[in-house]
């Protein structure tokens, strides 16, 4: 059973208060993600610059340019993976907060991530591949998969279920529950509010709207029975 506060009626004020409790954790998650992304981009750009500077003309130049592009992507890949793992904490922290009822400190958040990194990497890989296939095959399946993400992340971070079981359970809970489509509507509405608020504030509003939405949605997931 999760904390009793997880099952309370969600509202923006409660979500905002939860965000305030986690400001240091949220800020550090964003900073670490941004730094890792920036370093990855810098490494990629440096490799391309070196490859471009060494390239001559003709076929050998094209081959060298292609090799540089490949190396730049390979150089950026590990840092991109790390940035993605850290970024998912933005959703996992609200999940852990409502599950335990305790404020998730910076130390607790990153210790959780480092405790089972391969589990989170493989879960993220599975979800990314499934969502990509869904969007390529037909946009609607991709959207449907994306909308189970809050429940999937919760199950991955707060339970010991296998990755495949958590993935299947997240679908069953969202699309097999009587409250499932209400939860979907909550996510869609929250997403629209985040987009509008962010656009109207030239992007600055996202620093407030996104974490509030993440906490609100996790609370709603418990309240609506998506997570027991």
Residue 105, phi then psi, degrees to nearest 5 = -75, 170
The answer to whether 25 touches 109, Cβ cutoff 8 Å, is yes
Q: What pLDDT band is residue 73 in, cutting at 50, 70 and 90?
A: low
CB 86 within 8 A of CB 32: yes
Rounded to whole angstroms, the Cα distance separating 120 from 30 reads 18
**Mean per-residue pLDDT, 35-52:** 78
| Helix (H), strand (E) at residue 27 | helix 23-54
* Nearest residue to 21 (alpha-carbon basis) of 128, 95, 125, 103: 103
pLDDT for 74: 61
Q: Looking at residues 182-202, what average pLDDT do you find? A: 95
**Strand, coil or helix: 181:** helix
User: Which is it for the CA torsion 193, 195, 197, 200, positive or negative?
Assistant: negative
Whole-number pLDDT of residue 137: 84
From CA 72, how far away is CA 221, in angstroms rounded? 40
Average pLDDT over residues 215-225: 96
Separation of alpha carbons 27 and 14, rounded Å:
19
Write down the H helix ranges in 55-162.
59-87, 89-100, 106-115, 117-137, 139-146, 149-158
Give dist(CA 88, CA 93) in Å, integer. 9
Contacts of 124 (CB under 8 A, 6+ apart): 84, 85, 88
Q: Are 78 and 37 in contact (CB under 8 A)?
A: no
- Name, in order, each residue with C-beta under 8 angstroms of 158's C-beta and a sequence gap of 6 or more: 2, 95, 96, 99
Q: Give the CA angle between residues 53, 58, 61 to the nearest 5°.
A: 35
Answer whether 151's CB lies under 8 Å from 221's CB: yes
pTM for this entry: 0.89
pLDDT band at 46 (very low <50, low <70, confident <90, very high): confident
Q: What is the pLDDT, as a whole number, of residue 198?
A: 94
Q: What is the mean pLDDT of the chain?
A: 89
Does residue 57 surpass a pLDDT of 70? no
What percentage of the chain reaches a pLDDT higher than 90?
A: 74
Dihedral of CA 135/187/99/24: which sign? positive
Measured CA to CA, the distance from residue 125 to residue 148 in angstroms comes to 15
């Amino acid at each position: 059973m999760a904390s009793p506060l997880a099952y309370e009626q969600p509202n923006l004020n409660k979500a905002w208060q939860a965000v305030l409790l986690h400001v240091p954790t949220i800020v550090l998650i964003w900073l670490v993600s941004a730094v890792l992304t920036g370093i990855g981009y810098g490494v990629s750009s440096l490799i391309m610059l070196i490859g471009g500077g060494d390239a001559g003309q003709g076929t050998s130049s094209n081959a060298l340019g292609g090799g540089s592009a490949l190396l730049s992507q390979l150089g950026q890949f590990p840092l991109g993976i790390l940035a993605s793992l850290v970024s998912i904490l933005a959703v996992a922290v609200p999940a852990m907060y409502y599950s335990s009822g305790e404020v998730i400190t910076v130390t607790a958040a990153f210790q959780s991530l480092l405790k089972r990194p391969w589990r989170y990497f493989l879960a993220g890989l599975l979800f990314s591949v499934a969502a990509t296939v869904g969007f390529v095959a037909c946009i609607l399946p991709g959207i449907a998969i994306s909308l189970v993400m809050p429940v999937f992340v919760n199950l991955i971070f707060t339970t010991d279920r296998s990755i495949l079981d958590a993935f299947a359970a997240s679908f069953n809970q969202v699309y097999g529950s009587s409250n499932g489509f209400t939860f979907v509507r909550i996510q869609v509405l929250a997403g629209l509010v985040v987009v509008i608020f962010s656009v109207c504030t030239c992007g600055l509003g996202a620093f407030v709207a996104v974490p509030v939405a993440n906490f609100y949605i996790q609370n709603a997931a418990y309240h609506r029975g998506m997570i027991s």
